[in-house]
Chains A and B, each alone.
Chain A
């Protein structure tokens, strides 16, 4: 028999019960929360960090922190939103740390576990992508990954939360620990930088599509 998908309200309500039970020492209740929300947090983490390894670490750390801070949660928001924000906070810290580590290295490593995946966190892109890589994937996709990797951690977080997570400015400001106007400014700056880097490629693709010559 096919299991019915629970409604949002039911999920929030049962999340609240699971939180209560976890607070009384029931670890299995926390397992329910982890299993329910992991995939959603993973999507955010992957978009923020740009690779599977870091994304998985962010997910684990977010749930560990949520468990430790659970008594502060107090059902102010729903658990999903709360853990999402914890993950965003941790991902920013991790990206900042990685950026500073990378900038201290003379030669940033760009090898990846999977051939097609580029380390989005490398701060100094090595110019144009190699012909082999271009053959593997479209030029636009490569450029998009590079452009995202050149955003600052705060800009990337703001962009991911706003355009992929659908978060409001207040929520982004909370994750960035800044004022609403600064968060708004960060969102704008991220789109502006992406436009500058990518519009020539997007336009090329549009023209190619119009002429029926797109690869």
Chain B
């Protein structure tokens, strides 16, 4: 058997099962590879000696004290009360009577206010306008982001070796993919917060592809490049990015609501 590659020996050290027996047999006969494995073992053992400071027995409690004021209130429904375990509901606790009294007072106040206030008071348009402006800025920015992402993916899809079998340098595309990753995360989170799950889903898929590109070696063999291309094609990401990117750019430029009536842009994205 020929000598196992460095990565195979590292995988062997990690306990990977594939080809284990063959490598073990080879190691028994080859002092050179045995020495190589010992060097890997020694290095990883040395790295294990880097100490991690002990945060203390009460660390969990400290974390809780720090985060609990920042936790948003989870929505509770009135019927939760009915399904609570009996021992967790203290009917006679003074706190409950105070809370019940406060709720009753609020209901009464709302009733009286309702009787005294004239119906049909229009809602101030300012808040609506601000929401529209924010949405438009997001639409334009995401549209441009998708346009830039599309260019990277297209360049990757079209790149190839200058002569057969030669490696391809994709370091330029990698750098751009890394830059795009940060903003992609930001837009995905914003889309999620705004309840646009279709756009968030597309950005999530795009993020995986960009990460794949960013983590690939700088010089790839034609086979590796083909692998990247196949993964891009398998997800149909280029097509989705193109369609949604164009749609968003058009919306951003027109500065209006979606082109289709009834706000159907999200529906269109769902179809993609």
A interface residues with partner B (beta carbon < 8 Å): 22-25, 27, 30-31, 34-39, 42-43, 46-47, 52, 56, 59-60, 63-64, 67-68, 93, 96-97, 100, 140-141, 144-145, 148, 154, 162-164, 176-179, 181-189, 191-192, 194-195, 198-199, 202-203, 205-206
Contact = CB atoms under 8 A, between A and B. Distances in A.
Interface string B184-204: 010000000000000000000
- Interface secondary structure of B, over-half rule: helix
A195 B63 contact: no
A178 B177 CA distance: 13
B212 interface: yes
Given A25-B80, A56-B63, A68-B72, 6 more contacts: A39-B59, A42-B55, A144-B46, A184-B11, A185-B217, A195-B40
B96 to A, nearest CB: 16
A30 B40 CA distance: 42
A25 B52 CA distance: 35
A194 B39 CA distance: 12
Interface of B: 6-7, 10-11, 14, 39-40, 42-44, 46-50, 52-53, 55, 59-61, 63-64, 66-68, 70-76, 80, 83, 178, 181-182, 185, 207-208, 211-212, 214-217, 227, 231
A60 B66 contact: yes
Contacts, number: 133
Identify the 6 closest CB pairs spanning chains A and B, nearest first.
Answer: A35-B60, A25-B76, A38-B60, A188-B7, A177-B211, A38-B63
B55 A35 contact: no
A153 B208 CA distance: 16
A37 B63 CA distance: 10
Contacts of B39: 195, 199, 202-203
Given A34-B64, A39-B59, A192-B6, A24 B71 contact: no
Contacts of B72: 67-68
A39 B55 contact: yes
Contact of A186 (B46, B68, B83, B215): B215
A161 to B, nearest CB: 11
A191 B76 contact: no
Contacts of A24: 74, 76, 80, 83
A198 B208 contact: no
21 contacts: A25-B76, A25-B80, A27-B68, A31-B68, A34-B60, A38-B55, A38-B63, A47-B50, A60-B63, A60-B67, A63-B67, A64-B67, A67-B67, A96-B181, A148-B50, A182-B212, A186-B215, A192-B6, A194-B43, A199-B39, A205-B46
Nearest to B72: A68
Given A46-B53, A179-B231, A186-B215, A97 B60 contact: no
A203 to B, nearest CB: 8
A177 B207 contact: yes
A96 to B, nearest CB: 7
Nearest to B42: A202
